[in-house]
Structure formats: structure tokens, C-alpha cells
């Protein structure tokens, strides 16, 4: 059920570095991916320019554990999830960070290892965990 509002973010971008698995104090698995997207635009003199945006994508539980095994730096991935902003204190100042809480990840391209005859090996490059609508992956965890 979609409810009365919608909060959806979709990215296709490149992973900035190999993901690391962390554990919350409550014992939940969590992992943060940095994903880059690039837009092209025209500068003031009409020249073609580009700008890169970095996104923090948070994966929980099973999604985090699978990602750490399968996703590497430079992989191109599709991310689908929701936007969530949280606040934290640093040096007495309240700061905000907005992250994409991932619900679905598809690996689109990666550096394939070569088989004996030089052919790329088959691999299962899509994994999906669709959380049921009444499940909040962050429910009992905190970063």
C-alpha cells in the first residue's frame, strides 16, 4: 500500500570505494555506499561541462551483508530507496545528513574475472531485497 505520500529516490551511479560492513550497538549489520552520479550541462560560454554529485546510500541487515561480498569500487549499480535526514551533534553544533535508505540494489556492470578461455564468467549480478511495507529496517538500529 502506497499510503498518502511517496518518498522515492532512484540512482544509477558508480561506487566510490569498497563497502565495509559495520555493526550497530544493537547488533544490526549496516553498510554505507558512496555512489557518484554525473550531470552534463552548458557553462556560461556554452562550453560543455560536467558535475558530479555524491550520494550516501545506507544498506541494512541482509542487504548490507550481500553488498559487502558482491559490490566493489567502480561498480555501476542501480539503487532504489527512500530519502531520510538525520541530525547529529559535532563540536556542539547540530548537523544534518541526508541518506538514501536502500530497498533494492541491482549491479549493472562490474569488472568480470576471465574464465579459462578468456570469456567473462557468468555471475548472479542482481540481488533484491524488498522489505515488506510494514518493516522498517532501521526500527531497532541506530547509526
Q: How far is the CB of 119 from other proteins (least distance, A)?
A: 25
Shortest spacing between CB 127 and other proteins, in angstroms: 19
Give 92's Cβ-side CA count (13 Å radius).
Answer: 0
- Residue 101's H or E segment, with its range, is strand 93-109
Closest of 13, 27, 1, 5 to residue 100, by C-alpha: 13
Q: Which is nearer to other proteins, 53 or 114 (CB)?
A: 53
CB 51, CB 129: distance < 8 Å: no
In the bound state with other proteins, the residue whose beta carbon lies nearer, of 21 and 83, is: 83
- Maximum separation of any 2 CA atoms in the chain, in Å: 60
Which residue number, 42 or 117, has a Cβ lying nearer to other proteins? 42
Binding site for other proteins (CB under 8 A): 3-14, 36-44, 48, 51, 53-55, 76, 78, 82-85, 91, 93, 95-98, 100, 134-136, 139-140
Amino acid at each position: 500500500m502506497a499510503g498518502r505520500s511517496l518518498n522515492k529516490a532512484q540512482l544509477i551511479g558508480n561506487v566510490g570505494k569498497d563497502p565495509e560492513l559495520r555493526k550497530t550497538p544493537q547488533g544490526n549489520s549496516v553498510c554505507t555506499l558512496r555512489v557518484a552520479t554525473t550531470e552534463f550541462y552548458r557553462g556560461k560560454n556554452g562550453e560543455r561541462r560536467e558535475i558530479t554529485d555524491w550520494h550516501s546510500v545506507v544498506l541494512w541487515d541482509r542487504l548490507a551483508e550481500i553488498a559487502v561480498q558482491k559490490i566493489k569500487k567502480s561498480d555501476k549499480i542501480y539503487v532504489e530507496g527512500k530519502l531520510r535526514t538525520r541530525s547529529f551533534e559535532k563540536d556542539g553544533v547540530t548537523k544534518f545528513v541526508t541518506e538514501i535508505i536502500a530497498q533494492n540494489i541491482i549491479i549493472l556492470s562490474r569488472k568480470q574475472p576471465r574464465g579459462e578461455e578468456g570469456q567473462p564468467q557468468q555471475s548472479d549480478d542482481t540481488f533484491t531485497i524488498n522489505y515488506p511495507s510494514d518493516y522498517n529496517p532501521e526500527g531497532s538500529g541506530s547509526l
